[in-house]
Amino acid sequence: MIEWDLIGCAMQDPRIVTASRVRPQHFDDGTLGQVWAELGRMAESGTQPTPPLVAAALQMPEERARLLCNGLVDATLRVVPANHERHAQAVLEAAERRTLRDAAVRVQAMLDAGQPVEDVRQQIAKHAGPDGDDDELANETLSLDEFVDQALPDEQWLIPDMLAAGDRLILTGGEGSGKSILLRQIACCVAAGCHPFRRERIRPSRVLYVDAENPLRIMVQKIRPIRDALRLAGFESQDRMFINRQPGGLDLTSVKGRTMLRHMCRVFNPDLLVIGPIYKLYVQSSEKDEVPARQIAALIDELRQEHNLAVLTEHHTPMQQLGHARQIRPVGTGLWQRWPEFGFGIVPQQGTVLEDRQMDLVPWRGSRDERAWPKRLQGSGGAPGRLPWVDMDCIGSAWR
| Domain spans in the chain, listed from the N-terminal domain onward | 1-152, 157-391
| Confidence bin at 126 (pLDDT 50/70/90) | low
Distance CA 31, CA 65 (A): 11
- Amino acid code (one letter) for 169: L
pLDDT at 315: 95
Distance CA 235, CA 239 (A): 13
Q: How far apart are the first and last CA of the chain?
A: 60
pLDDT at 106: 85
Phi/psi of residue 150, nearest 5 degrees: -65, 150
What proportion of the chain, given as a percentage, has pLDDT over 90? 62
- Among candidates 141, 237, 106, 130, which has minimal Cα distance to 184? 237
Planar angle of CA 106, 111, 117, nearest 5 degrees: 105
pTM here? 0.67
Same fold, 1-152 and 157-391: no
Q: Say yes or no: domain 1-152 is CATH 1.10.860.10.
A: yes
The residues facing 310 across adjacent strands are 272
pLDDT at 141: 81
> What average pLDDT does this structure show over 345-358?
92
Burial (CB < 10 A; 0-12, 13-18, 19+), residue 310, is buried
Between 66-70, 136-140, 298-302, the lowest mean confidence (pLDDT) is in 136-140
pLDDT at 284: 63
* 203 has a pLDDT exceeding 90: yes
Give the side-chain half-sphere CA count within 13 A for 3.
18
> What average pLDDT does this structure show over 273-285?
88
Query: Which CATH code of 2.60.40.3880, 3.30.70.260, 3.40.50.300, 3.40.50.2300 fits the domain covering 157-391?
Result: 3.40.50.300
Higher pLDDT, 119 or 253: 253
The model's pLDDT over 71-100, given as tens digits with 9 standing for 90+, comes to 999 999 989 888 888 899 999 999 889 888
Give the side-chain half-sphere CA count within 13 A for 371.
24
CB 263 within 8 A of CB 227: no
| Confidence bin at 398 (pLDDT 50/70/90) | low
CA gyration radius for the chain? 26
**Peptide bond before residue 270 is cis, with ω within 30 degrees of 0:** no
Instruction: Name residues whose C-beta falls within 8 Å of residue 182's C-beta, 6 or more positions apart in sequence.
Output: 171, 346, 377, 388, 389
CB 250 within 8 A of CB 292: no
- Amino acid code (one letter) for 393: D
